[in-house]
Structure 1
Amino acid sequence: MLHSLYEFWTSAAGGTPLEWVAVITGFACVWLAARESLWNFPTAIVSCGLYVVVYNGAKLYADRNLQVVFIAMSLYGWYEWLYGGSRHAALVVTRTRPWEWVSIGLGVLLFTGGFGYYLRQNTDAALPFWDSFTTAGSLAAQYLLTRKRLENWLLWIMVDIIYVPILWYKQLYPTSGLYAVYLALAVYGYVEWRRTARATAATPVPAA
C-alpha cells in the first residue's frame, strides 16, 4: 500500500529537474510582473529558454515556438517599460485601446485556425487547435503586458484556465500546477494593476 502511494506521488509530482527549474523561474516571472517589477523580463527569458526544451519533449510544438517569441517580446517589453512612456519616460498602467482589441481578436482567430490546421496535417502534435489557441492567446496577453495594458491579466486568466488541464493531460504535472498558480497570480495582478491605474488617473497633471 505504501509503495503504491509512493509511486502515485512520484508520478503526480514528478517532472524532470529541467522542468522544475522552469517552473520556479516561471513563477518568479509572473509574481514580479504582478508587482510591476522590471526584473520580470530577464527572469522570463531564462524560464522561456528552459521551456523550449520541455515543450519540445512533450510534442507541444506551438507552445515550444511560443517560448522563442516570448524571449523576443521580453526584450522588447524590457525596453518599453523603461522608455516607452511619454517623452521616453517609464510606462504607466493604461487601458487597452479599442483598435488593439479588434486586432487581437482577429489575430487569435486567424492564428488558431491556420496554425492548428498546419499542426494537424503536418506534425504529430497533441491537441493542435487547443495548442494553437492558447499560443495565440498568450501572444496577445504578452503584447498587452509589454505595453502595460491592464487587461493583459484578463487574457492570462482565460489562457491559464485552459492550460491547466492540457498540461495535466500531457503529464507535465509540475507545469500544470504552475499554471494553476499562474491563474491565481493573474487575478492578483489584475487587482493590483487596476489599483495602480486608478491612482494614476486620479493624480492631477502638473501645469507646464
Structure 2
Amino acid sequence: MNDLYQGFLEGLYQMTWLEGIAVFFAVLSVLFQKENNILVYPTGIISTAIYTWLLSREHFKLYADATLNAYYLVMSVYGWVYWAKKRPQEPVVPITSSNGRELITAVLISLGGWGIFYYLLRHFSDSNVPVMDAFVSATACAGMWLLAKRKLENWILLNISNLVAVPLLFYKHLYLTSLLTIFLFIVAVFGYFSWRKEVQQSEITRL
C-alpha cells in the first residue's frame, strides 16, 4: 500500500503541465458526453491531440496508446461533423439504440481490432502486455465508433475498455491516468443511464 502511495506521489511530481492540460480536457469531454453536449468533441480533440504526441515520445514508448488517441482524434473530428448535421426540427442527430447490424459491426471492430493490435504489439514492439493492451484499444475503438453515431451502447463498450485498462495502468505504474480512468468509468455508468432514459422517452413520444 505504501508503494502504491509513493508511486502516486511520484506520478504527480512527474506530471508535466502538458499532461495536466490533457487530463483537464479529457474530464471536460466526458462530462459533456454525459450531458449529450456537442462540446464533447472540441474538448476531446484537444485532449487526444496532446496524448497522441506525449505517448509517442521516446520517454513513454506507449505506441499503441498513442495510436488509439490518434484514432480518437480522427473520430472526434468525424463525430463533431456528424453530430452537427441539421435534421428537421432537431438541432443534432438524436440518440438511439444500436440495431443488429451496428452491434455486429461493433463486435467485429472489437475482435478484429484486438487481433490486429495484438499482432502488431507482439511482433513489432517490446510490449510485455500485448493481449490486454490490444483488448483495451480494440474495444475503445468500437465504443468510439458507436459514440460518433450517437448510439446508447457506446457506453458499454467504452466501460469494458475502461474496466480492463485500470489494472493495466496500475501495473504500468501510470497511477494518475488510472485514477482518471476510474473517474471516466464512473461517469460512463451515469452516462449510460442518462442516455437510456432519453432513448426511452423518445420511443414513448413516437408511440
TM-score higher than 0.5 here? yes
TM-score (norm 2): 0.88
Q: Is the CA contact (8 Å cut-off) linking 1:116 and 1:129 kept in structure 2?
A: yes
Larger relative contact order (CA 8 Å, sep ≥ 6): 1
1:157-189 Cα deviation digits (max 9, x unpaired): 111111111112222211110000000000010
Identify if the C-alpha distance between structure 1 residues 36 and 165 changes in structure 2 by more than 3 Å, giving closer, same or farther: same
Alignment of 1:44-63 (within 5 A): 44-56=44-56, 57-63=59-65
* Cα contact 1:23–1:174 (8 A) shared by 2: no
Q: Counterpart of 2:38 in 1: which secondary structure?
A: coil
2:173 to 171, 182, 189: 171
Stretches of structure 2 that go unaligned for 5 or more consecutive residues are none
RMSD: 2.3
Q: With structure 1 as the length reference, what TM-score do the two structures score?
A: 0.88
Structure 1 residue aligned with 2:15 = 16
Which has the larger Rg? 1
User: For the structure 1 residues 12 and 72, does the alpha-carbon distance in structure 2 shift closer, same or farther, using more than 3 Å as the test?
Assistant: closer
Q: Is the 8 A contact 2:68 2:137 kept in 1?
A: yes
Distance verdict in 2 for CA 1:121–1:84, change over 3 Å: farther
1:6 and 1:148 mapped to 2: Cα distance?
39
In structure 2, how many angstroms separate the alpha carbons of the residues matched to 1:178 and 1:101? Answer: 28
Alpha-carbon distance, 1:60 to partner:
2.4
Are 1:38 and 2:13 counterparts?
Answer: no
Report SS of the residue matched to 1:203.
Answer: helix
| Distance in 2 between residues matched to 1:6 and 1:202, nearest whole Å | 50
Q: Which of 111, 114, 117 is matched with 2:116 structurally?
A: 114
Q: Aligned residue for 2:199?
A: 197
**Alignment-derived partner of residue 27 in structure 1:** 27
Aligned length: 202
Tell me the residue number matched to 1:160. 162
Q: How far, CA to CA, are the matches of 1:96 and 1:58 in structure 2?
A: 37
- 5+ residue gaps, structure 1, are none
Q: Among all aligned residue pairs of Structure 1 and Structure 2, give the percentage whose two residues are the same amino acid.
A: 31
